[in-house]
Structure 1
Amino acid sequence: MIDATQMAQNIRSKEVSPLELVKEVIQKTENINPKLNAITSQRYEKALHEAKTKDFSDKLFAGVPIFLKDLGQEQEGEPSTSGSKLFKDYRATVSDYYVQKLEELGFIILGRTNTPEFGFKNISDSALHGSVNLPDDLSRNAGGSSGGAAALVAADVIPLAPASDGGGSIRIPASFNGLIGLKPTRGRIPVGPSSYRGWQGASVQFALTKTVRDTKNLLQGLQVYQIESPFPLKTLTKEDFQQKSKKPLKIAVQLESSIGGLVSWDAKQAVKKAVAFLEQEGHHITLIDKPIIDGVEAMQTYYLITSVETAAMFDRIEHFLKRPLTTDDMEVMSWALYQMGNNVAAKDYTKAISQWDQYSRLMAEFHQDYDLLLTPTTADVAPKHEQLLLTKQELEHLKRSRNFSLEEQKKAVWEMFAKSLDLTPFTQQANMAGQPSISLPVYRNQEGLALGVQLIAAKGREDLLLSVAELFEKKQQFL
């Protein structure tokens, strides 16, 4: 499949019409989605009408068909379930600024892609919509929370897919599916009007792509200096996007998990392959023997903040429904986070946010010495569907979490995520510190399963990440 940039150029030059492309993508989706389970809803008739009637002649992504993620990314009048049965019949009343920007760029939206409930997991397996299958191996999960988006791009249904990332939800499925996954700097992409502080700025919208050109062009088109947002950020210039790194970069390499879990031989081989290439290109590599940030402490703050944000969300839902929520309204993992969040004191929440500010400071100091941090994106390949499931005993224990003390709830939540965190311990740091990071598709194991490597840059330096990504792509280091 050609990339979205070329697709749009073909539309502008009238080599193909938007209507032809929309019909082609609909046909592809109908053929392959029964195998992938990547779609939660569709708006094909509206998309066909837009393809017939709209003028795309001056649009950057003129008439390119896409699917939105069914978590946030609200489009007026369309379903938005967040993977939850609480919202199975909900329709958005207003379009998010991010979605409005996508439409301004010329994309035609065909529907929505599958996610886990409220995006809490690194796999996509909501009770409402079911699991998303990895295109390379249908017995495995495509990852989360942007699993449906990744599966559609990996299966060549669409050239890119909108996604979001609150702890790795773009980069994790990018690693599993052999795609490019950029998480921009906090404040780079439009937020609002309904929410401006997704998980206190940890959650960022962007996309999964197959080419650096699409990644770069989409970032240029989406970036905004948004004065009313909590984290306004100076936009990158055209010169920033065009410049290449001429001096050798200083790149630190972290191979071990920051929480002490096992990192597979394949994940380390992926990084070593990237290191060999970067050294060949003249860059300076330093292996660091310990994480810059204490991984266990950081994840404890991450779960604490996530739990409070979850409790606040459910408080709003209770107000809207005019009734209390019960375990029957949500999946057990959501319930456990909700109960913990109800018990966290405001002073402890504030301390956790302040701790994130300290992580941002530590990483800023780190980047005075190193241009980039290179890690595995994930500690192993995409998991089997049953690999991360909780036992019946564990689920029953979590159902009773309302009656636990706060310390017992913290312990239960930590244990609840333990297996999944071992699989993906490298991505959350950039969300907490607000930095840009990117997963690059550089490796397949002997079974043909993909693994990515992650590069993290200082705040605002997506240009550096894209420059290095282009080097990998130009020298044919991608899958």
Structure 2
Amino acid sequence: MDFEEYRRMDAMAMAAAVADGQTTAGELLGCAFARTDAVNPKLNAVIARRDAGAREEAAGPPAGPFAGVPFLVKDLFQELAGEGCNRGCRALRDAGTSADAEAEITRRWRAAGLVVFGRTNTAEFGARSVTEPEAHGPARNPWNPVLSPGGSSGGAAAAVAAGIVPVAGANDGGGSIRIPASHCGLFGFKPGRGRTPVGPAFSEWMHGAAGHHVISRSVRDSAALLDAALGAEAATPVVAPPPARPFSEAVAAAPGSLRIGYATGSPIGTQVHPECRAAVEGAARLLEGLGHHVEEAEPAIDGQQLARDWLTLWFAQVAAMVERVRQHTGAGAAGFELETRVMAALGRSLSAADYVAAHERWNRYRHAMHDFHRQYDLYLTPTVARPPPRIGETALPGWQRTALELVLRSRTLPRLRASGLIERLVRDELGRVPFTQLANLTGAPAMSVPLHWTPHNLPVGVQFVAPVTGEAGLFSLAGQLEMASPWFDRVPALP
């Protein structure tokens, strides 16, 4: 099988070809190895391989709906027992850490027949909207390697867009599936709270704001893999009701005539690039042509407060992760990136009352979205506020790095926080991606759909947010959009 034949298949087509005897798992794996060898030196999407283990698994009798399909997991909470897990962190890399247990999501993917042959690049602890960890170097965008594929699942998105695999593992606590999907011209689906397992490391990850799924080229792959991974674990505090029918069936079902409210302005008042606005406006016209009613509308939510509340959660999570790694490895400051140490210090500076108050406001956002969805079936926004940034563009300038190092050493962070500098730095980071955190805090499913390309041939996705437990409706609309404005064969011009 040559690469073009390999690339023309999504994961379901590959599994069908294995089941029919048209190809073998070993042949597909060989294509994945060859493509990785050809493009990974340019993209740095895959940071670790397990060729021998994958070959052994591919040689076994095929079993599961995705039997024989090559697959990559993200190097962040998608562990294989006894194998490395760096989470983009230099301290874990240098300590040579390995996983004590297999992540439940990875176990379910492997039970579905996926053949895991490596791990993808991710931001340190998944804490950035770009994938440029100092531990492994930056992942690069196949559409233009001087640009970022986004984060934190940037390695996964780059691998799928470059044709290494048709689908790859990802996770999303603030946009980490949808942001790189937008930057790489892919379909990115974030399931709602409690849909996929997060154990055994957690019973619920970030109070349910974060979860696992995949980045894919086809809608049907995403839906079928959610079917394969669906279901609560014994310790899950929130159990989502089972869908009325498999999500894979919803893809082919007509969505009906939907009422869709849309907005193009940033919820935190920052600038939105004209191409990102154009993506939504073009999607609105497409939707109208498909028989949906589309009008400008947005939920009654203070976007700046929501951003602050998400950051409160995130800073506290980073502080906890840094502390766990320090205890496990004995690493000092040099084991972590400066931005990570700043976020951790901010998390430690929060009071318990601050944290609880921020978490309690999530309920306010859920009620606002419930009221919005009484009138509108879906909420449409840009996925991101700007096209992909250049590698290094989001890095702190030297003077800020020096100032922050001094602050961390002198323990004067509360005074710096009061000065507003940290808030400005945060605004610069979230200003690029202000739209995705809403779905995380409300527990709603959301998706990024690749419907727009700029004049420079860069993809820009649009985001749809559904009501809680509204995954089936999203998949139905995505299937309709995929038919009306196909993107599967629109691929970057990598050799």
- TM-score band w.r.t. shorter chain: over 0.9
Q: What displacement does 1:104 show?
A: 0.6
**Which residue does 1:309 correspond to in 2?**
317
Question: What letter is aligned with 1:378?
Answer: V
The CA deviation string for residues 92-133 of structure 1, in whole angstroms up to 9 with x for no partner, is 110010011011100010010001111111110000100111
Give the distance between the partners of 1:240 and 1:39, measured in 2 at CA: 29
**Match 1:277 to one of 286, 290, 299:** 286
Question: What letter is aligned with 2:185?
Answer: G
Question: What letter is aligned with 1:433?
Answer: T
Query: Is residue 457 of structure 1 aligned with residue 466 of structure 2?
Result: yes
**Superposition TM-score, scaled by structure 2 size:** 0.92
Q: What SS does the corresponding residue of 1:140 show, helix, strand or coil? A: coil
Query: Is residue 87 of structure 1 aligned with residue 95 of structure 2?
Result: no
Question: What letter is aligned with 1:439?
Answer: S
The CA deviation string for residues 421-453 of structure 1, in whole angstroms up to 9 with x for no partner, is 111111111111111000001111111000000
**Which residue does 1:392 correspond to in 2?**
398
Query: Is residue 25 of structure 1 aligned with residue 32 of structure 2?
Result: yes
Give the distance between the partners of 2:104 and 2:246, measured in 1 at CA: 26
How many residues of Structure 1 are paired with residues of Structure 2 in the alignment?
A: 474
**Match 2:65 to one of 60, 84, 87:** 60
**Match 1:9 to one of 2, 5, 16:** 16
**Match 1:160 to one of 136, 155, 167:** 167
Q: What displacement does 1:388 show?
A: 1.3
Distance 1:187 1:306, change over 3 A: same
Report if the CA contact (8 A) 2:88-2:135 is conserved.
yes
**Which residue does 1:342 correspond to in 2?**
348
**Which residue does 1:73 correspond to in 2?**
78
Distance 1:63 1:240, change over 3 A: closer
The CA deviation string for residues 165-208 of structure 1, in whole angstroms up to 9 with x for no partner, is 11111100100100000000010001211122322222111000
Report if the CA contact (8 A) 2:450-2:460 is conserved.
yes
Deviates more, 1:223-232 or 1:121-130: 223-232
Report if the CA contact (8 A) 1:336-1:401 is conserved.
no
Q: What displacement does 1:47 show?
A: 0.5
The CA deviation string for residues 30-63 of structure 1, in whole angstroms up to 9 with x for no partner, is 11100101111100011011111x221x411011
Q: What displacement does 1:9 show?
A: 0.7
Query: Is residue 442 of structure 1 aligned with residue 444 of structure 2?
Result: no
**Superposition TM-score, scaled by structure 1 size:** 0.95
**Which residue does 2:277 correspond to in 1?**
268
Q: What SS does the corresponding residue of 2:146 show, helix, strand or coil? A: strand
Q: What is the Cα-based RMSD across aligned positions, in Å?
A: 1.6
- Structure 1, gaps ≥5 residues long: none
Report if the CA contact (8 A) 2:171-2:177 is conserved.
yes
Question: What letter is aligned with 2:245?
Answer: K
Q: What SS does the corresponding residue of 2:431 show, helix, strand or coil? A: helix
Deviates more, 1:462-471 or 1:399-408: 399-408
Question: What letter is aligned with 1:373?
Answer: Y
The CA deviation string for residues 198-232 of structure 1, in whole angstroms up to 9 with x for no partner, is 22222111000011111111111111133521221
Give the distance between the partners of 1:382 and 1:239, measured in 2 at CA: 34
Give the distance between the partners of 2:413 and 2:24, measured in 1 at CA: 61
Give the distance between the partners of 2:315 and 2:355, measured in 1 at CA: 10
Q: What SS does the corresponding residue of 1:130 show, helix, strand or coil? A: coil
**Match 1:295 to one of 273, 278, 303:** 303
Give the distance between the partners of 1:246 and 1:74, measured in 2 at CA: 36
Q: What displacement does 1:341 show?
A: 1.4
Distance 1:247 1:407, change over 3 A: farther
Query: Is residue 353 of structure 1 aligned with residue 359 of structure 2?
Result: yes
Runs of 4+ in 1 over 4 A off after TM superposition: none
Q: What displacement does 1:313 show?
A: 2.1
Give the distance between the partners of 1:391 and 1:240, measured in 2 at CA: 46
Query: Is residue 222 of structure 1 aligned with residue 237 of structure 2?
Result: no
Deviates more, 1:327-336 or 1:104-113: 327-336
Query: Is residue 190 of structure 1 aligned with residue 197 of structure 2?
Result: yes
Report if the CA contact (8 A) 1:398-1:412 is conserved.
no
Give the distance between the partners of 1:245 and 1:95, measured in 2 at CA: 38
Q: What displacement does 1:466 show?
A: 0.5
**Match 1:320 to one of 320, 328, 331:** 328
The CA deviation string for residues 314-334 of structure 1, in whole angstroms up to 9 with x for no partner, is 23233334x5x5431210111
**Which residue does 1:38 correspond to in 2?**
45
Q: What SS does the corresponding residue of 2:147 show, helix, strand or coil? A: strand
Q: What SS does the corresponding residue of 1:110 show, helix, strand or coil? A: strand
Deviates more, 1:246-255 or 1:275-284: 246-255
Deviates more, 1:253-262 or 1:401-410: 401-410
Query: Is residue 371 of structure 1 aligned with residue 342 of structure 2?
Result: no
**Which residue does 2:114 correspond to in 1?**
107
Give the distance between the partners of 1:317 and 1:450, measured in 2 at CA: 36
Give the distance between the partners of 2:262 and 2:107, measured in 1 at CA: 38
